[in-house]
A and B are shown apart, each in its own frame.
Chain A
Amino acid sequence: MIQDTSTPGAASPAAPGGARRGRRRKEYVAGGRPLWLLSPTLALLVLVIGVPFLIGTYISFFELDQYNLRNWVTAPFVGLKNYADSLNAALLLHSIWVSLAFAVLTTAFSAPIGFLAALAVNTRFRGRGLVRSLFLVPYVLPSFVTATVWRFILRPDGVFNKVLGLHNMQWLIGTNSFWALVLVDIWAAWPFVYMMTLAGLQAIPDELYEAADVDGVTWVKKIVYMVVPQIRHQLLLGLLLSTLNHFNNFTLPFVLFGTPAPNDVLTLQVNIYQTSFQYFRFGLGSAMSVASLILTLIPAFIYLKASRLTAAPGEE
């Protein structure tokens, strides 16, 4: 990166200690690093996600259902049966495939929209504040409302068909339902990348923009060679998080299609919900969660590594 003056190695000024104490910063700085700033974050994550996740994992080895819910510690131990069931009977792989296709497609469409939107409002113009805020509206509406509105719009005799002149086209059942889900989620989620990009753009110093203008490069080149490298971390992170968010979106398909969901839109989250809370098979639901989590985190971690998002200071 252009403004990164640091170079990998012991003399790196990346750690401020280096500036003070020179080469042996590691030993010297240890006490001065305010690592405790991380502790509240860690404590909360353990309490609210870590512990429940472990309980969930524990449950996944038991047949916890409506008949022993009241005394859940007495649920019979069934070993890996729930995991076998998730692969065979519970359509887990199908759901993972649906969720994955949905998440990737939605991200692929919504990211460019959000990126362009951020670029478009980076210049001052009259009413920019209003436009910037209005862009946020689809994202600010509760998913539950978004889904209700779109369920309305996409009904066989709804406004969408009316406006496009399609007669009784079915958007909410069959294969079309998948595309309806993608469409609605793109509509609701593009402001996510828009906001990420906007935040990144603000940290680009004016000097860089001006330098590019003085060189007289085209706007495409300015974006590709100057802007994108500057905010690539935000973009890479935005792509990852947006994919994960779409993957884990529960409310949208749940309200849009209701339950039981058509198989074409039986996303993982809806499947887990149906299994756990409607069929009362909490053990199976937990097993599905754990299995799917492992399956999704492998590519996510590979991505993190490959994109060097987790690279240490000065290691870029």
Chain B
Amino acid sequence: MSAISAPAPASRRRKRIVREPQRLLPRWLQVVVITLLMLMLLPVVYMLIISVSPDLDAASAKLWPSQFMWSNYLKVFTTVDLGRGLMNSFIASFSAALIATIFGLGAAYVLTRFRFRGRAPLLSSLVGLQAVPATMIILPLFVVFSSVGSALGVQIIGSRPALIVTYLTFAIPFSTWLLVTNMRQIPTTYEEAAMIDGVTRFGALRRIIFPLMVPGMVVAMVFALLVGWNDVLFASVLTNPDTQTAAIQLQVFANSTDGGVLPLYGQLMAASLISAAPVVVLYMIFQRQLVGGLTAGGDKG
């Protein structure tokens, strides 16, 4: 990056062309695309407005609040234990995402670098398992967990590991597949060259493959993280008050019992934006790894 400040002013124009080999769209189109997509975020702006509106204003579709309810951003933490919920979500989702990415990396390595019997069926079945409807799994899964629990004499339902294992399982097929496609892009010649130089297989994996796979892993991790972060179906039956996740708590705000009680729209939006923030921030930190054109050595910084 330090190289950017180096070029002499005279060669600037020419330099820019060379320096932007990754430019894929002409500038005008790039501007158009980005602008349009930013406009698509208008509903999020609307969420911001609702989050500080009285619930009745929101319910009657007022575009601007009659009074600002900034207190919603504080209230959400007392209406439910949102702090604990976010922590629970973070622990469950992040552990699952991390493990899924690591397992996925191992699996992808094997699946792209070796031929063995059952390789293609395995890859296909990963897609097949991904297609099993969650609504079908949920009741039997509960039975499985509770029988395993009573067989082992531990309370599995409601525990964090049960939730992590569930998210992990749904995240693995995807991370594996994503990393498989990415690993295929990396020529095998890189690691072979290293291994001829006497580097062990794991040395090659760590020093050659791993750096090149970072962008793919970041993306795989974000997706895996979201499996748990957004889940309500499994968390609603697999958690107890101590392990309840933020996504479950969000539903509480929308709870509309019949009889004319308005849901807490303002707090719902405030809580949603708060709970979306950690993922966006995490991604903001990690997206720096999504820089293009890594070369053979993986050294571009």
Judge whether A144 and B184 touch: CB under 8 Å.
no
A89 within 8 A of B: no
Judge whether A204 and B293 touch: CB under 8 Å.
yes
Interface 0/1 of A130-161, CB less than 8 Å to B: 11111111111111110011101101011100
Which interface residue of A131, A145, A195, A200 has the most chain B CB atoms within 10 A?
A: A145
10 A-B pairs with least C-beta separation: A209-B21, A289-B136, A37-B106, A206-B293, A52-B140, A202-B215, A55-B140, A48-B169, A233-B181, A199-B219
- Among A45, A124, A130, point to the contact of B172 (Cβ < 8 A): A45
Q: List 13 A-B contacts (CB under 8 A).
A: A3-B187, A15-B188, A56-B137, A136-B222, A137-B276, A144-B230, A149-B50, A152-B58, A250-B135, A250-B233, A272-B135, A289-B136, A310-B120
Minimum CB distance partner of B33 in chain A: A120
Q: Which B71-94 residues have a C-beta within 8 angstroms of A? A: none
Judge whether A55 and B143 touch: CB under 8 Å.
yes
A134 CA / B277 CA spacing, docked (Å): 10
A85 within 8 A of B: no
A291 CA / B293 CA spacing, docked (Å): 45
CB distance from A197 to the nearest CB of B (A): 10
- Among A38, A50, A202, point to the contact of B294 (Cβ < 8 A): A202
Judge whether B47 and A132 touch: CB under 8 Å.
no
Judge whether B135 and A204 touch: CB under 8 Å.
no
- Among A40, A122, A157, A314, point to the contact of B22 (Cβ < 8 A): A122
Judge whether B141 and A52 touch: CB under 8 Å.
yes
Judge whether A133 and B287 touch: CB under 8 Å.
yes
Please give the residue numbers on chain B whose beta carbons come within 8 Å of chain A beta carbons, in ascending order: 17-18, 20-26, 29-30, 33-34, 37-38, 40-41, 43-44, 46-47, 50, 58, 60-61, 63, 103-104, 106-107, 109-116, 119-120, 122-124, 126-137, 139-141, 143-144, 165-166, 168-170, 172-174, 176-178, 181-182, 184-189, 191-192, 195-196, 201, 204, 212, 215-216, 218-220, 222-223, 226, 229-230, 232-233, 247, 250-251, 254, 265, 268-269, 272, 275-276, 279-281, 283-284, 287-288, 290-296
Judge whether B37 and A272 touch: CB under 8 Å.
no
A166 within 8 A of B: no
Please indicate the chain A residues that have their CB under 8 angstroms from the CB of B247 in the complex. 142, 144
Q: Which A237-293 residues have a C-beta within 8 angstroms of B? A: 237, 240-241, 244, 247-248, 250-251, 268-269, 272-273, 276-277, 282, 285-286, 289-290, 292-293
CB distance from A217 to the nearest CB of B (A): 12
Judge whether A47 and B226 touch: CB under 8 Å.
no
A312 CA / B38 CA spacing, docked (Å): 41
- Among A1, A14, A48, A206, point to the contact of B113 (Cβ < 8 A): A14
A4 within 8 A of B: yes
Which interface residue of A48, A55, A153, A198 has the most chain B CB atoms within 10 A?
A: A48
Judge whether B177 and A241 touch: CB under 8 Å.
yes
Judge whether A123 and B23 touch: CB under 8 Å.
yes
CB distance from A117 to the nearest CB of B (A): 6
CB distance from A26 to the nearest CB of B (A): 8
**A to B contact number (C-beta, < 8 Å):** 365
Please indicate the chain B residues that have their CB under 8 angstroms from the CB of A277 in the complex. 135
Minimum CB distance partner of B136 in chain A: A289
Please give the residue numbers on chain A whose beta carbons come within 8 Å of chain B beta carbons, in ascending order: 1, 3-6, 13-16, 19-20, 29, 32-35, 37-38, 40-41, 44-45, 47-53, 55-56, 59, 113, 116-117, 119-124, 129-145, 148-150, 152-153, 155, 157-159, 162, 187, 192, 195-196, 198-207, 209-210, 212-213, 219, 222-223, 227, 230-231, 233-234, 237, 240-241, 244, 247-248, 250-251, 268-269, 272-273, 276-277, 282, 285-286, 289-290, 292-293, 296-297, 300-301, 304, 309-314
Please indicate the chain A residues that have their CB under 8 angstroms from the CB of B191 in the complex. 16
CB distance from B113 to the nearest CB of A (A): 6
CB distance from B64 to the nearest CB of A (A): 11
If A41-B176, A55-B140, A207-B295 touch, whether A145 touches B30 (CB-CB below 8 Å) is no
If A207-B295, A213-B21 touch, whether A45 touches B58 (CB-CB below 8 Å) is no
Judge whether B110 and A34 touch: CB under 8 Å.
yes
Minimum CB distance partner of B220 in chain A: A199
Judge whether B168 and A44 touch: CB under 8 Å.
yes
Judge whether A53 and B294 touch: CB under 8 Å.
no
- Among A37, A276, A293, point to the contact of B110 (Cβ < 8 A): A37
